[in-house]
Structure 1
Amino acid sequence: MYPLKKLVPKIKFTQEEDDRLIEVIERLGTRDWEGIAQEMKHQTPRQCRERWNNYLSPSITSDPWTSQEDELLDSLYDEFGSKWSKIAEYFPNRSANGIRNRYKLRQRRILKEKKKAEKLLKNNQNKNHESNKNDIKGNTDISEKSIDEILLKKNEDLYSLFEDGTDHYQIFFGTCS
């Protein structure tokens, strides 16, 4: 009845088509996707069903994900893998497609943060390596005196945080009023 998948163009639903699909489903229900598609003219039964189930159904929420939902999603993915329909059974107001999209978005963010952290770590290691090379090249005999001077300077900076009257002093020694 419908042409092969290759011959069916992928056309985005317009607002008018969304409104029409909602009206047709209100009349016919969600059991006869063939009949619904015939009334829609330019969409296949599958396109109509997926548009309804993933975007238009009033039972689907577009509310922001909570941290509890994210944790549940991670746990269910560990258990079921990428069986999105199975995972969707645990999220009554989210579509399988929406769940998959959320999982993939979070994975991209995690990967991006991981790469950023690795880059920062590598840059810090390179800076430390360069600093050590300069110390070795410029002053092959790092004396106890220079180490003590460095430690003393760091301690002075630390002590300045706790000078009497500073906020840090009041917080640390409990003299806040």
Structure 2
Amino acid sequence: MEVEVSHLESSKKQHVTGASSMRNRVERWTPEEDELLQEAVVQYKAKNWRLRWQKVLNPAIVKGYWTKEEDQKMLELVGMLGTKRWAAVARCLPGRIGKQCRERWYNQLDPSIKRDPWTEVEDMRLFLAHKRFGSKWSQICSILPGRSENGVKNRWNTHIKKKAFILEEYCRMWNNQQNSSQNEELLGNEAAIKDLLSISE
């Protein structure tokens, strides 16, 4: 099906090219293209392929680095529109979509983002949150105020993941001391986390 969809996309590009060079000529869909389109809609559902086009395949979407001018415009727009109307923000940034604007804000431009080094307490809290939520970075962020989704994900992949075994051992030792098998209580208890970390000293 991927090959068929690719063929359909390629064929449609040819139609667009023909239309741009011969403005008065109306290109007709072939029976083969109609059949491919019907099969694609059945397999991927109407909403699915429409979103795929809007967010990925649309050639008007800008996918490169953000410019300083775009960042400055984003700051101004968020100041006026807030952080709930990303589609409206995107309409003022040609080539960008709401999802891009939201991610740019929460991962880079939000002034509340913490950029100082991670603490041991934050690392342990990230480890415990990942045990509880898995790779649901937005949920984990709610437990680590000031850290962005990208920042949390990168910290996990570059630092915490490779020492998870050691952190798990700390948790086991702490649970033995506390006569407990629950780690959830640690998430919101900084004093308990510090107590746990003292085991390694």
Same fold (TM over 0.5): yes
Q: Which of 48, 53, 58 pairs up with 2:101?
A: 48
Unaligned runs of 5+ in 1: 112-177
Are residue 73 (structure 1) and residue 126 (structure 2) matched?
yes
The aligned amino acid for 1:10 is: K
Output the TM-score relative to the length of structure 1.
0.57
Which protein, 1 or 2, shows the higher relative CO under an 8 Å CA cutoff with sep ≥ 6?
Answer: 2
Q: Could you state the TM-score of these two structures normalised by the residue count of structure 2?
A: 0.50
How many residue pairs get aligned? The number is 111
* 3-state SS of 1:3 partner: helix
Which of the two has higher C-alpha Rg?
A: 1
Q: Which residue of 2 aligns with 1:22?
A: 75
Q: Structure 1 CA distance, aligned partners of 2:95 and 2:54?
A: 12
The runs of at least 4 consecutive aligned structure 1 residues that moved more than 4 Å come to: 107-111
Is 1:5 the counterpart of 2:36 in the alignment? Answer: no
Question: Quick check: 2:62–2:96 contact (8 Å CA) kept in 1?
Answer: no
The answer to whether residue 85 in structure 2 is matched with residue 32 in structure 1 is yes
In the alignment, which residue of structure 2 is the partner of 1:156?
none
Q: Match of 1:74, as an amino acid?
A: F
Which of 72, 82, 86 is matched with 2:135 structurally?
82
SS in 2 for 1:31: coil
- TM-superposed deviation, 1:13: 0.5
Q: 1:9 to 1:52 in 2, by over 3 A?
A: same
Map 1:66-145 → 2, pairs under 5 A: 66-107=119-160, 110=163
The worse-fitting range, judged by mean Cα deviation, of 72-81 and 6-15 is 6-15
- Identical-pair percentage: 39
1:14-56: CA deviation from partner (whole Å, max 9, x where unpaired): 1111111101111221221111101111210110111001110
The amino acid across from 1:50 in the alignment is E
Cα displacement string for residues 34-86 of structure 1 (whole angstroms, at most 9, x for unaligned residues): 11101111210110111001110111111111111111111111222111111
Deviation at 1:107, TM superposition (A): 4.8
Q: Secondary structure at the match of 1:61?
A: coil
Q: SS of 1:40's equivalent? A: coil
Amino acid at match of 1:54: N
8 Å contact from structure 2 (residues 55, 97) kept in 1? no
Counterpart for residue 22 of structure 2 = none
Output the aligned Cα RMSD. Answer: 2.2
Task: Measure the CA separation in 2 of the matches of 1:98 and 1:12.
Answer: 18
How far has the Cα of 1:97 moved from its partner? Answer: 2.0
